Amino acid sequence: MSRDSAKTPDTRQHSRIVVDGLEHAPSRAMLRAVGFTDEDFGKPQVGIASTWSMVTPCNMHINGLAEEAGRGADEAGAKSVIFNTITISDGISMGTPGMRYSLISREVIADSIETVVAGQGFDGFVAIGGCDKNMPACVMAMARLDRPSIFVYGGTIQPGIKHRDIVSVFEAVGGAAAGRVSAAELLEVERTAIPGPGSCAGMYTANTMASAIEAMGLSLANSSAQEAVSRSKIDDCRRAGAQVVELLRRGIKPSDILCREAFENAITMVIALGGSTNAVLHMLAIAHEARVELSLDDFTRLGRRVPVLSDLRPSGRYMMSELIHIGGIRPLMKTLLDAGLLHGDVLTVSGRTMAENLADVRPYADGQDIIRPLDRPIKKDSHLAILYGNLAPEGAVAKISGKEGLLFKGPARVFASEEAALKGILGDVVQPGDVVVIRYEGPKGGPGMREMLSPTGAIMGKGLGDKVALITDGRFSGGSHGFVVGHVTPEAAVGGPIGLLEDGDMITIDAEAMSIDVALDEDTLARRRSAWQPPSRAPLRGMLAKYAHLVSSASTGAVTDLGLDRDDR
């Protein structure tokens, strides 16, 4: 359903309010100082939202990409203006108090892009993201502002030597604690795992979200499957800048693209690629901004018919750069489309439908084993299991590839923080057969819903990956694997059942029955609930306090404006 407006859209709908007319001479005067010419004031203004930062290799190169996007917009007849927003490095803050700010940064970034684009009167924008939270944040801002816009992925990192990546380092830490990795070996892994710019190398959260966003229709073809340092990524940015101008001319906005079917396409791709559990949280948040009805149950519904086809890390063998070398995700998308698993009639930022975009895509060459055929899947249904039960009445998200088994039953080993759990794992408190419980790490309880890559990496490194399970009201890094269940809701901090557990309580996680239960009767749970008190902690101030007060449950995307009337936005 390629779309052309019946009347010519006003490509300067927003910027003319800022710069046209006698009364806006002061605005023009200030803009002249930042490079505007007389001619520029008659052009549509395209913001370039850059998440450049030297705090992480994921984003260290994005300033150059932003400049390329700006050139593309300028050459197409617009006036580009680059602006920055923040980012937080998950990999660096992992396992520290700073990780509480990671998910919070998603809201800060979305808010800041909204603030600049709306405040400056940009007619459209390109948003360039490279790390886990700034990517969904960019798309949340696109949905919220509903101005012609395109997302560009900053690109994936190249593998370190010996096929290493950041998860190799986390797991080497566990190996060192178990005595299987020497101090010299750990140092060598540390020095060689991250060779340069780009997002983490496996099908972790960044590559998962890049693929989902492209499948949603908000990126140009192959934006999700390019290395950060490559000619193709430079070209992607230049084309995105030019295409936003075309979207302005045709009046195509995110609301023309972000229908329910677009979200179903994105979820389908996440499943087929074996992607991160964080995609569940972020897709719910993006749908909230787009005002599209989406729930945990949609992941279950689609998961029954979509198989896992990719053998990518963390549970598989390959990295994103290797998938890029065989053609990226587009041949997989074409396979899914031909099988009736993708909606082909949805509009994309190319101005064409998904089916039109994929019409000429050729299949993968024979001999590759990164992407399996539909008749020989890695798993016949989704690796993302939405579990319910007396431990998670509002749902939990499990990442179960099948390699860990589909059923785990064991006694609870309860910890009130990630740090305590990591100490227990490395110190042999956790034993084979245990269900590790990490609580008070949810959106409100953390606050910030920290990722648990340090504990899961330590479990793998200690050789316990197939011997213990882990459940939490926090969340997991896209690099986490094993028998893990996160996003347990209601969270402990609001009196959820996970907060009532005691050491030794028998927990059953059943990925086939989609259930997570503790062997306690309702009377026992009620008695514990009546005696429950939240743990004492230091008073919160600033961002943590505001977030804890505003944030919703993980089952609704952990957004901060749920229930607010936004009709006047």
User: pLDDT tens digit string along 472-502?
Assistant: 999 998 888 889 999 999 999 999 999 999 9
- The alpha carbon torsion through 541, 547, 549, 550 (nearest 10 deg) reads 150
Average pLDDT over residues 423-440: 97
Pairing of strands 506-510, 407-415: antiparallel
> Do residues 555 and 394 touch, judged by C-beta distance below 8 A?
yes
Q: Work out the mean pLDDT of the chain and round it to a whole number.
A: 95
Asked whether the predicted pLDDT for residue 563 surpasses 90, the reply is no
Asked whether the predicted pLDDT for residue 566 surpasses 60, the reply is no
Q: How far apart (Å, rounded) are the C-alpha atoms in residues 333 and 340? A: 11
Q: How far apart (Å, rounded) are the C-alpha atoms in residues 37 and 425? A: 62
At 199, give phi and psi (nearest 5°).
Answer: -85, 160
Asked if residue 447 has a cis previous peptide bond (ω within 30° of 0), the answer is yes
> Do residues 130 and 51 touch, judged by C-beta distance below 8 A?
yes
Average pLDDT over residues 538-544: 95
Asked whether the predicted pLDDT for residue 5 surpasses 50, the reply is no
Residue 19: its pLDDT value, please? 98
Q: Distance from CA of residue 344 to its chain's centroid?
A: 24
Asked whether the predicted pLDDT for residue 568 surpasses 70, the reply is no
Average pLDDT over residues 526-535: 95
Q: Is the dihedral of CA 464, 465, 467, 470 positive or negative?
A: positive
Asked whether the predicted pLDDT for residue 328 surpasses 50, the reply is yes
Q: Which residues of 4-31 are buried (b: 16+ CB within 10 A; e: fewer)?
A: eeeeebebbbbbbebbeeeeeeebbeeb
Residue 453: its pLDDT value, please? 87
Residue 1: its pLDDT value, please? 42
Q: What is the pLDDT of residues 294-313, one digit of tens each?
A: 999 999 999 999 999 999 99
Percentage with pLDDT > 70 across the chain: 98
Average pLDDT over residues 96-101: 94
Contacts of residue 509, defined as CB under 8 A and 6 or more positions apart, other chains included, come to: 387, 398, 407, 408, 409, 435, 469, 471, 483, 485, 515, 516
Asked whether the predicted pLDDT for residue 315 surpasses 90, the reply is no
To the nearest 5 percent, what fractions of the chain are helix, strand and coil?
A: 40, 15, 45
- The whole model's pTM is what? 0.96
Residue 6: its pLDDT value, please? 56
Residue 97, both tokens: 């108090």
Closest CA to 223 of 413, 369, 91, 68: 68
Residue 117, both tokens: 């684009």
Rounded to a whole number of angstroms, the CA Rg of the chain reads 23
Asked whether the predicted pLDDT for residue 171 surpasses 60, the reply is yes
Residue 567: strand, helix, or coil: coil
Asked whether the predicted pLDDT for residue 293 surpasses 60, the reply is yes
Q: How far apart (Å, rounded) are the C-alpha atoms in residues 423 and 465? A: 17
Pairing of strands 124-129, 407-415: unpaired
Q: What is the pLDDT of residues 222-257, one digit of tens each?
A: 999 999 999 999 999 999 999 999 999 999 999 999
CA atoms within 13 A on the CB side of 346: 23
Pairing of strands 392-399, 407-415: unpaired
Sheet of 45-50: strands edge to edge? 79-84, 45-50, 124-129, 149-153
Average pLDDT over residues 53-75: 98
For residue 456, what is the enclosing H or E element? helix 453-461
Percentage with pLDDT > 90 across the chain: 91
Q: How far apart (Å, rounded) are the C-alpha atoms in residues 303 and 511? A: 12
Asked whether the predicted pLDDT for residue 565 surpasses 90, the reply is no
Asked whether the predicted pLDDT for residue 169 surpasses 80, the reply is yes
Q: What is the DSSP string of 249-260?
A: HHT--HHHH-SH
Residue of 315 and 376 predicted with greater confidence: 376
Q: How far apart (Å, rounded) are the C-alpha atoms in residues 496 and 510? A: 20
Exposed, middle or buried, 355 (CB in 10 Å: 0-12/13-18/19+)? middle
Average pLDDT over residues 347-368: 98
Active site residues: 477
Residue 2: its pLDDT value, please? 44
> Do residues 413 and 462 touch, judged by C-beta distance below 8 A?
no
Q: What is the DSSP string of 195-209?
A: -SSSB-SSSSHHHHH
Average pLDDT over residues 428-439: 97
Residue 178: its pLDDT value, please? 87
Q: What is the pLDDT of residues 181-199, one digit of tens each?
A: 999 999 999 999 999 999 9
Asked whether the predicted pLDDT for residue 36 surpasses 90, the reply is yes
Q: How many CB atoms lie within 10 A of CB 370?
A: 20
Residue of 534 and 353 predicted with greater confidence: 353
